[in-house]
Structure 1
Amino acid sequence: MNNHILDKEVQAYIKANREQSPSSIALKKSPFSSVSSPEIAAQIDGWQRAVKKLPTWAFSSEIYYPDKINLEQCSSEHTALIKQTLIKKGSKVVDVTGGFGVDSCYMAQEADIVVHCELNEKLSEIVKHNAVVLGVPNLVCIATNGVDFVQAQEDQSLDYILIDPSRRINHAKVFLLEDCEPNIIAAQDMFFRKSRYVICKLSPLLDISTALQKLKHVKLVYVISVDNDCKELLFIQDSTYTGEAKIVAIRLFTDQIQTLTFTLEEEKQALIRTSQPLTYLYDPDVSVTKAGAFKTVAKQFNLFKIHTHSHLYTSDSLELDFPGRAFLVKEVFELSTFKRRTSLDKANVATKNFPMKVEEIKKKFKIKDGGNEYLFFTTDYLGNPIVIHGNKV
């Protein structure tokens, strides 16, 4: 960490040039002897990444940005706020894999103390500085191995352990929980000796059912999406809990939040009804589909499915609270007659349970991207390929 970056004249220069291209700044001669052009460019790049992901950071003075990879891997403010709601007032929390400290900073607003463990000494120093700037005095930063730190604590002396195991080992991606670093499967019994709750932040690509088989005492699973992009899976383990885990799909969009809660057994037992497209068509958010609530969402909102395996839903009355997009159905075509019956040459094309890819469809039917029209190429409940033309509600 180069403390000269925090000098007033350097900070003023960064602020004046923060809309510029970082690469062009890196190639210019630095106006400061104590700070290089690449260092200035890295701070500008960090600010530009933080504007959308971490607006509180971006619009606070004297924030020090870390290496690009640390910003790419950190939580957004939106998802950190979800974790904040999990923490009881006055708790003691250890963030085992602290990173840039976004989650730690938000948890500290509820907790009595949050210990931020980070092996990278430079990153730990940066987080310590930013915590002071952001007014988070109860965030304690320690440059150490988080698992070793937890193991050294007295039994039941902690309330929460947060861990985000790395899914990239020696520059190669790993996909099994036990191959991540740290190995949370091997450590969980020790964690439960030290703390009642363990919060695991895991990859959105992870299979939820598989993880539930390997992780003990899971009480809740949060599937969090931001603007229809699945960002995180949170597995909340409670050492005293022995029941079936509840799965909560959380949709964050345009400063709003929608949730859908169910269990895998409820999903398994739910009965579905199918129908041809009715007045309204619904396309579920990625949080719903990743959570696996394919039948549950139909049951909770009293909807029909277009096909058992076509995850599109329909109804005659509009369900405004549906967690996803809603469309007014204008017309339904059989695939064989689609081109003859419409002159539509510009639309937003999507496929669900359909043998052709979007690019193939656009090429075959000469459809350009964009506009206010939407075309869903799918399969109806009788097994026929159809095209649903609609407008967004």
Structure 2
Amino acid sequence: MNTNILDRPVQEFIRDRSHTDPMSILLKPAFFKEVSNKELVRQIEARNKCKDKLPIWHNSPNIYYPGKLNIEQTSSEATALYKAKLVAGTSLFDITGGLGVDSYFFSNKIDQVHHCEMDGELSKIAQHNFTVLGKTNIKTHMGDGIAFLKNSPIHFDWIYVDPSRRHDAKGKVFLLSDCIPNIPKDLATIFKSAPNIMIKTAPLLDVSAGLKELQFVKEIHVIAVKNEVKELLWILKKGYTDAVSIQTVNLYPTHTETFRFMPHEEKLTTPNFSAPLEFLYEPNASILKSGAFKTVGNQFKLFKLHEHTHLYTHQELLTFPGRVFRINRVVAFNKKEIQQLQLKKANITIRNFPMSVAEIRKKFKIKDGGKDYLFFTTDMYGEKIVVHCHKV
């Protein structure tokens, strides 16, 4: 950590060059004696990445930014704020602290937060930024979080962990046992230090696979931001053996879409089917990731188009956690009928359909964009259809 970066002239340079071409900085003679041009570019690029994802960090003076990869891997402020709403108590231990975004928001709800990070440089950066941001109730520890718990007499209300995949596990099926730390292996150790555990995983982890690897799972939260799934949160409570509930969350700046269900209910639910009616309903990404394909339809009294087509329909306009469309016309999937729609431009979505969007655009010469939406899908009779609609 080069503390010269925090000098006022350097900080002003970084703030004033947010739109400057990095090469124009790298190719010029050194601007500062103690800070290289390469370090300046790293700070500028990392700060720019924080603009939308971490506005508090971006807008605060004297923040020291880590590498771009650390910014990409950290939680966003939106997801960190959501996580903080799930905890309560006097103490929390963050095993894999990283940049400290989650610890920062946990500290707004918890009296004392302990931030642990193996990377010495990143630990120092997090500690500096906590001070700049006025956080006096976060204590930083450099080292292995699991080793810390084994040697510490402190008992916490919560333990939070964000395991990362080992490099030799890339390309394989995502398993928690392939991550650092190995949560299934270390679960007993963690529970000795706290009754509640929150685990953050990438959306790549399959929900059923995670349930097989973990014990005492109470809740799973599937978090999407602007309809893109970002995280899975696993809430574990020591000794919990009742049914698991799944909460889906789709965060927008102005509102939040939520849906809750129980996995065992999904297995027992029988969907109702129908041909397309007046309105078409498309669940948001967090619901689709959760696997609530039958439950969401039945809870909202919707009809499914096909067992494997996760689109729903109803004759009335309902409030729904996802996109809603008014159906204009339904045609069979053949060239003559599609050409009769007379569309040169449309937004195309495929659901339970054998062709890709790119193949459809090429075959029917339909450009992307506009106010028309085409859903290429399969109906309850197994027939390939095209649903032409407009967004409500």
Which interval holds the TM-score relative to the shorter structure?
A: over 0.9
Which residue is 1:26 aligned to? 26
Report the CA distance between 1:46 and its aligned residue: 1.0
Contact kept? 2:175, 2:210, Cα under 8 Å: no
Write the deviation string for residues 118-166 of structure 1: whole angstroms up to 9, x where unpaired: 11111000000110111111111111111101111227x1111111111
Contact kept? 2:372, 2:388, Cα under 8 Å: yes
Contact kept? 1:94, 1:150, Cα under 8 Å: no
Q: 1:23 to 1:303 in 2, by over 3 A?
A: farther
Q: 1:392 to 1:23 in 2, by over 3 A?
A: farther
CA distance in 2 between partners of 1:345 and 1:152 (Å): 67
Report the CA distance between 1:331 and its aligned residue: 0.9
Which residue is 1:193 aligned to? 192
Which residue is 2:11 aligned to? 11
Q: Give ranges in structure 1 of 5+ residues lacking alignment.
A: none
What is the identity, as a one-letter code, of the residue corresponding to 1:124? S
Aligned with 2:14: secondary structure?
A: helix
Aligned with 1:131: secondary structure?
A: helix
CA distance in 2 between partners of 1:126 and 1:299 (Å): 49
Q: How does 1:121-160 map to 2 (within 5 A)?
A: 121-154=120-153, 157-160=155-158
Report the CA distance between 1:26 and its aligned residue: 2.9
Which residue is 2:327 aligned to? 329
Which residue is 2:58 aligned to? 58
What is the identity, as a one-letter code, of the residue corresponding to 2:345? K
CA distance in 2 between partners of 1:348 and 1:315 (Å): 22
Q: 1:23 to 1:276 in 2, by over 3 A?
A: farther
What is the identity, as a one-letter code, of the residue corresponding to 1:362? R
Which residue is 2:162 aligned to? 164
Report the CA distance between 1:171 and its aligned residue: 8.5
What is the identity, as a one-letter code, of the residue corresponding to 2:269? A
- The yes-or-no answer on 1:366 pairing with 2:360 is no
Report the CA distance between 1:169 and its aligned residue: 2.4
What is the identity, as a one-letter code, of the residue corresponding to 2:184? I
CA distance in 1 between partners of 2:175 and 2:21 (Å): 38
Q: How does 1:146-295 map to 2 (within 5 A)?
A: 146-154=145-153, 157-169=155-167, 172=170, 175-295=174-294
CA distance in 1 between partners of 2:297 and 2:209 (Å): 24
CA distance in 2 between partners of 1:171 and 1:307 (Å): 36
What is the identity, as a one-letter code, of the residue corresponding to 2:32? F
TM-score (norm 1): 0.96
Contact kept? 2:94, 2:159, Cα under 8 Å: yes
TM-score (norm 2): 0.97
Contact kept? 1:221, 1:248, Cα under 8 Å: yes
Report the CA distance between 1:168 and its aligned residue: 3.5
Contact kept? 1:303, 1:314, Cα under 8 Å: yes
What is the identity, as a one-letter code, of the residue corresponding to 1:45? E
Q: 1:248 to 1:63 in 2, by over 3 A?
A: same
CA distance in 2 between partners of 1:201 and 1:391 (Å): 37
Which residue is 2:108 aligned to? 109
Contact kept? 2:130, 2:138, Cα under 8 Å: yes
Contact kept? 1:165, 1:181, Cα under 8 Å: yes
Q: 1:379 to 1:171 in 2, by over 3 A?
A: closer
Report the CA distance between 1:211 and its aligned residue: 0.8
Contact kept? 2:166, 2:178, Cα under 8 Å: no
CA distance in 1 between partners of 2:228 and 2:26 (Å): 32
Write the deviation string for residues 260-282 of structure 1: whole angstroms up to 9, x where unpaired: 11111111112211111111111
What is the identity, as a one-letter code, of the residue corresponding to 2:325? F
Q: 1:172 to 1:298 in 2, by over 3 A?
A: closer
Q: Give ranges in structure 2 of 5+ residues lacking alignment.
A: none
Report the CA distance between 1:255 and its aligned residue: 3.1
Aligned with 2:143: secondary structure?
A: coil
Contact kept? 1:109, 1:136, Cα under 8 Å: no
- The yes-or-no answer on 1:77 pairing with 2:77 is yes
Q: 1:352 to 1:171 in 2, by over 3 A?
A: closer
CA distance in 2 between partners of 1:310 and 1:134 (Å): 48
What is the identity, as a one-letter code, of the residue corresponding to 1:360? E
CA distance in 2 between partners of 1:143 and 1:235 (Å): 25
Write the deviation string for residues 244-302 of structure 1: whole angstroms up to 9, x where unpaired: 11000111123321111111111111221111111111111110010011111111211
Which residue is 2:99 aligned to? 100
How many residue pairs align between the two structures?
A: 390
What is the identity, as a one-letter code, of the residue corresponding to 2:13? Y
